[in-house]
Chain A
Amino acid sequence: MLKLTQNEWMKLWSRKSSWIMIILLAIILLASAAITKWVDNAMDMNNTESWEQVEASEMAYNLSMLENPNLSDTQREYYEGEVAISEHRLENDLPPYEYDTMQQGVIESHVMMSIVTLFTVIIAGGIVAAEFSQGTIKMLLTRPVKRWKILTSKYIATMLYAILLAIVLFIVTALAGLIFYGIGDGTFLMWNGSEVVEGSFWLEGLKMLALSFASVWIIGTFAFMLGTVFRSSSLAIGLSIFLMFTGIQAVFLLADYEIVKYYLFTHTDLTQYYTGFIPVEDITMTMSVIVLIVYFIIFMAISYLTFSKRDVTA
């Protein structure tokens, strides 16, 4: 299996597109940091509010949310935590990081994860389909290696590439922050359920990155399945990207129905449990993880079945 994965990895890096996507990701991150910085300077920030004022108004908003009797447990917990953090900040004079600091950039690096998803989908949708379209599939499958092993090696290579993209995202975000914003003052606080504690912004950034990787993983797996079933990379990539953008909108359309709880895109964004933006009530992290795993198993089962049963006529 190691050798097969090595093969897939070698093929992946022999194509220019894999390099271009990594470079493009870095360029986009650097450019967006530079543009943010430039816009800030141009507007010269006539924002006169002090951080205490901002914090106080946020706290007031969160308190008002808590008065809503229909809050789910997950949401209630979130708002209580936020209020506790705000109180702690104001009492102990601990300002948060301003948004144009390297630290805040690291904490929020996951917001650019959709680019990673996009690039992962391109690789995932093409890695099997390309073998069919190039005709190399018949060279690949007439080896003393069972088909499921070949498919597994391709899946592993795809996910390794996705992880690499996420790491590049994290490192380049930090670098861009360092170059364009610089290190700012502040502390990162978090609510551990019973008290407010100080946390590391690096760890927080990594945690959020790992959580948002769930969507890369599941949408990547979906594209992988489509590429395997339809043997057309353009169809797989196109359909996956289309669903990636429209799938989340459908959550709002379905919000009033029970079915939304089993709908994939309700659960793809695991960071929702930490950012407070939970469009569907009554869902929990555990439930999301279970739903994602069930979808994963279905996608993989379809991929493996079609790939190992298929008569190769290409």
Chain B
Amino acid sequence: MSEQALVQIKNLSKTIGNKKIIKNLNLDLYKGQITGFLGPNGAGKTTTIRMMVGLMKPSEGDVLIDGKSVKHSFEESIEKVGVIVENPEMYKYMSGYKNLLHFSRMHKGISKKRIDEVIVQVGMKNRINEKVGSYSLGMRQRLGLAQALLHDPKFLILDEPTNGLDPAGIREFRLYLQKIARENGVAVFVSSHLLSEIELLCDRIAIIQNGELIDIKNVKELQQSRFLFKVEPLAAAEEILAGIGFPVSQFEGGLLVETEAEHIPGAVKILVNANISIFAVQPFKATLEDQFLEMTGGGDIAQAHTK
């Protein structure tokens, strides 16, 4: 990655009382890339994001956005950022349009035309003059996206953006984010504890636990090639496959084999010759959840789900 990072999180720390809840976080975010920010609840995702957008002051360290420090030149750096922190709370007693007008006045040079453009973009044209109080959660989410896009930001931060969206809404939202990342070169940073969602959406994943960044991975790297064999008898098959050098493990009543696709026909032939009954052979995609649990240890995420 020779390209200059658009956003640099440098040695970011937050101490509340005498507890250090964010510990020396370093992370670079790049143009056109969607980075997921994953961690169990209480790991420090929201605190990190709040420090990135100036809602909280870092105890140590800084965030640079396009070279400008959030700490020292707040206005110049935040200018380039679009933010949705959790549920986008809007002024319920005003219409969607007035809400957008309100936020547009807080940025430089947003024309009425631009507001209309964004309204069309998020598909809110028909209901924009109704009060936000009458909107469904999905519509509020769209309006939230609209306010974040008004000023054409280079960097989009979303904290748990799909909370409360239905599957169709999530899908639409995902495609939209991928589109603006690709076409407009926007850097996107999305926090979530919905692992499957992050996996579909992101190019890269940063994993945080107990305030520490424990891993940064590219999603493609995570998807190793594995195949699940449903065969009988299991023990004999395992012996044969292991005997010819495949890494094998038992998994949910089948055998999990780590190998490339081109070795599969050979393996099947051998099993058939050995009189093993084959019911199914299928590519096995380990979900991110499994790996996530592996990395963070099961206890924390189980706790997270009980939210």
Contact = CB atoms under 8 A, between A and B. Distances in A.
Contact of B57 (A3, A143, A311): A311
A68 interface: no
A7 B102 contact: yes
Grouping DSSP codes into helix (H, G, I), strand (E, B) and loop, the A interface class, with mixed when no group exceeds half, is helix
A139 B108 CA distance: 16
Given A14-B91, A141-B55, 8 more contacts: A6-B105, A7-B106, A10-B94, A10-B102, A135-B87, A139-B85, A139-B103, A141-B54
A286 interface: no
Interface in A119-164: 134-136, 138-146
Interface string A9-21: 0110011100000
A139 B88 contact: yes
Interface of A: 3-4, 6-7, 10-11, 14-16, 134-136, 138-146, 309, 311-313
Given A3-B105, A4-B105, A144-B106, A136 B56 contact: no
Contacts of B108: 144
12 contacts: A6-B105, A14-B94, A15-B93, A16-B93, A136-B89, A139-B147, A142-B54, A144-B76, A144-B107, A312-B50, A313-B50, A313-B56
B258 to A, nearest CB: 45
Contacts of B106: 3-4, 7, 140, 143-145
Nearest to B83: A142
A313 B108 CA distance: 27
A142 B78 contact: yes
Given A10-B102, A136-B89, A143 B107 contact: yes
Contacts of B56: 311-313
B92 interface: yes
A143 B89 contact: no
Interface residues of B, number: 32
B98 interface: yes
A144 B85 CA distance: 16
Contact of A134 (B78, B92, B98): B92
Nearest to B88: A139
A312 B55 contact: yes
B6 interface: no
Interface in B106-147: 106-108, 147
Contacts of B76: 144
B105 A144 contact: no
Interface in B233-270: none
Contacts of A146: 74-75
Nearest to B94: A14
A134 B85 CA distance: 13
B205 interface: no
Interface string B48-79: 00100111110000000000000000111011
Contacts of B91: 11, 14, 134, 136
A309 B74 CA distance: 14
B276 interface: no
B207 interface: no
Contacts of B74: 144, 146
A135 B86 CA distance: 10
B79 A144 contact: yes
Nearest to B75: A144
Contacts of A144: 74-76, 78-79, 106-108
Contact of B89 (A7, A14, A138, A313): A138
A310 to B, nearest CB: 9
Contacts of A135: 87, 89
Nearest to B157: A142
Interface in B179-217: none
Top 5 nearest A-B pairs (CB, nearest first) are A135-B89, A143-B106, A144-B79, A311-B56, A312-B55
Contacts of A3: 105-106
B22 interface: no
B90 interface: yes
Contacts of B103: 139, 143
Contacts of B86: 138
A136 B83 CA distance: 12
B102 to A, nearest CB: 5
A10 B105 CA distance: 12
A11 B103 CA distance: 12
Contacts of A11: 91, 94, 102
Nearest to B73: A144
Contact of B98 (A14, A16, A309): A14
